[in-house]
Amino acid sequence: MRSVSFLSASGDTASTVQVAVADDDTERNQGLMDVRDLPESKGMLFIFENNEPRSFWMANTPLSLDIIFVNNEGEIVRIHHSAQPFSEKNVKSDKPAKYVIETNAGYCISNDIQEGMNVSL
C-alpha cells in the first residue's frame, strides 16, 4: 500500500487515500476488476511509463468509480465521476496522463477534488 494525497491550491492536503499500486501490464489489466468492496479511504494507483492520453473501461468492474487522470507533473487533467460498473465504454483522459487513480464513486465530490489540483505520490 502507498499513500496518495490530493493537494489544495495552497498546497495543503485536501484528502489522502491508501492505494494498491498497479505498475506492470498484468496489474494494470486486472485493476479493480472483480472487487466488490472498496473502503472509503482506499483506491488504486496505476503507473505508466509515458505521459500520454489514456483510456480505461469498467468491464468486469462491479463498483462505480471516480477515475482521476494525472499528468507527469502531478496535475489532475481529467476526472470521470461515477464511472458505470461493467461498462465497455471507453473513459478517456483527453490529455496526456502518466498516472491514473481510481477511488469509490463520489470520492472526488465529497472531498472537493477538482481538475487542475495536484497530487502527491
CA distance 88 to 76: 24
Reading across the β-sheet that carries 65-70, which strands appear in turn?
76-83, 65-70, 91-104, 42-56, 13-22, 2-7, 118-120
Instruction: Provide the residue-wise pLDDT of the chain in tens; the chain has 121 residues.
Output: 899 999 998 899 999 999 999 999 988 988 888 788 899 999 999 999 999 999 999 989 999 999 999 999 999 999 999 999 999 999 999 999 999 999 999 999 999 999 999 999 9
Q: Give CA–CA dist 24/115, Å, rounded.
A: 26
**pTM reported for the whole predicted model:** 0.95
Q: Which domains does the chain have, with CATH numbers?
A: 2-120 (2.60.120.1140)
Q: Tell me, what's the pLDDT at 34?
A: 79
pLDDT at 32: 87
